[in-house]
A and B are shown apart, each in its own frame.
Chain A
Amino acid sequence: MRAVALALALGATGCLFTIVTRSVAQLGEPTRRIPNRIAQPVVDDARLAVLWVGHATVLVQMDDKIILTDPVFTSAVGQISPRLVEPGIDPANLPPRLDAVLVSHMHFDHLSVGSLALLAPRIARLFVPAGGLVYVPPDGYPAQELRWWETWHDAEGLAITAVPVRHVGGRYGIDRSWQTAAFTGYVIQYHGLTVYFGGDTAYDRERFAAARERFPAIDLALLPIAPIEPRDFMSRTHMDPAEALRALDDLGARWMVPIHFDTFINSYDHVGDAPRKLREAMAARGIGDDRVVLLGQGEQRIFIARGGSAHPIR
Chain B
Amino acid sequence: MARWTRWTPALIVALTAGHAAADDIPTPSLDWAIFQILPSPGLTVATAGGDVAYTMRWQLTPILYSFGVRSEVTPWRALVAEPLVRYGGSLELFVDGEYTGRGEFADRWGLRSGARVYLPLVQHGENAALSFGASYLRAAGANGMGLELGGYVLYGVLGLQITYSPPLPVGESVTLNFVVRYF
Contact = CB atoms under 8 A, between A and B. Distances in A.
A174 B183 contact: yes
Nearest to B88: A137
Contacts of A144: 72
A33 to B, nearest CB: 24
Nearest to B23: A134
Interface in B4-22: 22
Interface residues of B, number: 30
Interface in A110-137: 113-114, 117, 131, 133-137
Contact of A135 (B82, B153, B154): B82
A180 B69 CA distance: 20
Interface string A137-168: 11000011100000000000000000000000
A77 to B, nearest CB: 11
Chain A interface category by residue count: 20 to 34
Contact of A134 (B22, B27, B71, B182): B22
A175 B23 contact: no
Contact of A133 (B72, B83, B154): B72
Nearest to B71: A138
A306 to B, nearest CB: 39
Interface stretch (B103-111, B119-127, B137-145): B119-127
B69 A134 contact: yes
Interface string B15-43: 00000001111110101100100000000
Interface of B: 22-27, 29, 31-32, 35, 68-73, 82-85, 88, 123-124, 126-127, 153-155, 182-183
Given A131-B23, A178-B26, A180-B24, 14 more contacts: A113-B84, A114-B123, A131-B22, A133-B72, A134-B73, A134-B84, A137-B70, A137-B124, A171-B82, A174-B182, A177-B31, A178-B24, A178-B25, A178-B29
